[in-house]
Structure 1
Amino acid sequence: MRKAARGRPCLIRLPGCDGGGETTCLCHYRLSGYSGTGLKPPDSMGAFGCFSCHAICDGRAPIPEGYTHETVRLAHAEGCLRTQALIQGEVA
């Protein structure tokens, strides 16, 4: 899934999203019990996300105005669901 992300549209869709394409990578969703020190979540818990959205989700960029940590996590989780639908052949 990591290689499949390149060239795909961003499915996280936060403000400042560049739409994806060449900047798209698999953005892993951090979930207790599945991630932590030295433990990366499985690829099935990832969303196709552009550089900008990935930076916000990972905390490298500030949370957009009007958003909270929880709404960013919701956007990331919805991106994971859209990614699963896309790879399973559903409309995203």
Structure 2
Amino acid sequence: MSVISYKLRESAKGQACQIRLPGICNCDPSTVVLAHVGGGSGMGQKCDDIHSAYTCSACHDVIDGRSGPVMLSETTIRIFVFEGMIRTQRLFLKQNLVMVAT
């Protein structure tokens, strides 16, 4: 694992869940990890760390298919996941974990 990947993954500790699935999110920062969520490979498949989101254990279980059926459509889940990824990327920028070349 690269130093950058390690720093991104470690940055999840104590963060708020950025996916926030309604009726599912446990809002517990102690359960938050950096979960891979997309990047063209589809949810539940591994991809690079920039395509990830700070995710609580309850939301993570849903996006990885470990929680069984839920009362949200796949489209709704996908929207929340990708919006969470965008919020997480903004936090990466704010924390200087990722920089944009100018």
Scaled by the length of structure 1, the TM-score of the pair is 0.81
| Paired residue total | 85
Q: How does 1:31-50 map to 2 (within 5 A)?
A: 31-32=39-40, 34=41, 40-50=46-56
Partner in structure 1 of residue 77 of structure 2 = 72
Q: Is the 8 A contact 1:63 1:69 kept in 2?
A: no
Q: Provide the rounded CA distance (Å) in 2 between the counterparts of 1:72 and 1:86.
A: 21
State whether structure 2 residue 89 is matched by structure 1 residue 84.
Answer: yes
Q: 2:64 aligns with which of 42, 53, 58?
A: 58
Percent identity between matched residues is 33
Once superposed, which parts of structure 1, at least 4 consecutive aligned residues long, lie more than 6 Å away? Answer: none
Which residue among 12, 33, 52 is the counterpart of 2:19?
Answer: 12
Ranges in structure 2 where 5+ consecutive residues have no aligned partner: 1-7, 96-102
Q: CA distance change for structure 1 residues 82 and 74 in 2, over 3 Å: closer, same or farther?
A: same
Superposition deviation, residue 63 in structure 1 = 4.6
Of the three residues 18, 28, 37, the one matched with 2:36 is 28
- Alignment root-mean-square deviation, CA: 2.0
